[in-house]
Amino acid sequence: AARRSRCLPQALEEQYSPSRWSPRLGSDTVIQAHMAATAAGTRRARASTQTALHVPYGDGDGEKLDIYLPPDPAGTFPVLLYIHGGYWQCLSKEESGFAAPPLVSQGVALVAVGYDTAPRGHMDAMVLQVRRSVVFLVKRFPTTRGVYLCGHSAGAHLAAMVLSTDWTEYGVVPDIKGTVLVSGVYDLEPILHTYVNGALNMSREVARRNSPLLCVPPAAPAGCEVLVAVAQHDSPEFRRQSQEYGQALRAAGWSVSMLDLAGLDHFDIIEKLSEDSYVLTQVGEELPFSL
């Protein structure tokens, strides 16, 4: 059973404020730097990569994908779906293509998914949107060499919720071969007691049914590998959540690797995906993902 946070409300505010834990920059500055870095990386990716931008996967205004294609888009290739963070209330796919160049050079298509963030979107809807984006990709690329998920922070939560999906409701079973969860939140209950829930307006019931830690599937898809990564300078609560979710997956029989990245914080742990030599960029070498 998971250990619930024992932090008092004031302490929870600090624990779930990732920018307060970065030793590099001040709280406001590190967020501004993160947004600038990912936006600049995405502009470079769009300028150097064959793209299909703003592809609708549903009828909603926010239900669009940016697809960064490998050099031979007519061939078969793995598809990596990137789900952005921003505490379910900021950022977008417009800053989410920064990891495309090194992945595309390996023959991987990167897909940045858009979803309706709060207050327009609510938690149930966001989870449903990301699941439907996976279904769309399976139909769009029927000969793919597997689907891979990568999510950061709130995006890691949404990626983990994809792993908990009952696909019989969708009429397809995606071939999810690997998932990279970076500095995520997997139990939403503590969020209820922080400023974050001001925009989300989650009830306890909503938080519980959308907590990956509480809905771990009893059986893992064949051949699916999960990497749970956390930064040295993530807060103790973020680190606890990653550890407990990884342990819960393992207990259910999933193949899980844990990675604790020294010297990094909640923001540069994902920004470095734009670098060829970064360990998370090279998941094909670190894990049997067969990228």
Give the pair of three-digit tokens for residue 108. 């991987």
Per the annotation, the verdict on 34 as an active-site residue is no
Residues in CB range of 59: below 8 A, 6 or more apart: none
Residue 259 in contact with residue 291, Cβ under 8 Å? no
Please give the DSSP secondary-structure letter assigned to residue 190.
G
d(CA 122, CA 125): 5
Question: Residue 140's Cα: distance from chain center in Å?
Answer: 21
Give the pair of three-digit tokens for residue 56. 């609708």
d(CA 30, CA 74): 40
d(CA 53, CA 260): 34
For tokens 């990568």, the residue is 150
* Residues paired with residue 228 on neighbouring β-strands, in sequence order: 181, 258
Residue 253 in contact with residue 261, Cβ under 8 Å? no
Question: Residue 100's Cα: distance from chain center in Å?
Answer: 15
Kindly name the residue from 22, 133, 153, 274 that is annotated as catalytic.
Answer: 153
Helix 123-140 to helix 154-163 angle, to the nearest 10 degrees? 60
Per the annotation, the verdict on 133 as an active-site residue is no
Kindly name the residue from 234, 235, 242, 274 that is annotated as catalytic.
Answer: 234
With 0-12 CB in 10 A as exposed, 13-18 as middle and 19+ as buried, what is 205? exposed
d(CA 149, CA 134): 9
Within the chain, what is the greatest distance between any pair of CA atoms? Answer: 55
Per the annotation, the verdict on 234 as an active-site residue is yes
Peptide bond connecting 212 to the previous residue in cis, omega within 30 degrees of 0 = no
Catalytic residues: 153, 234, 266
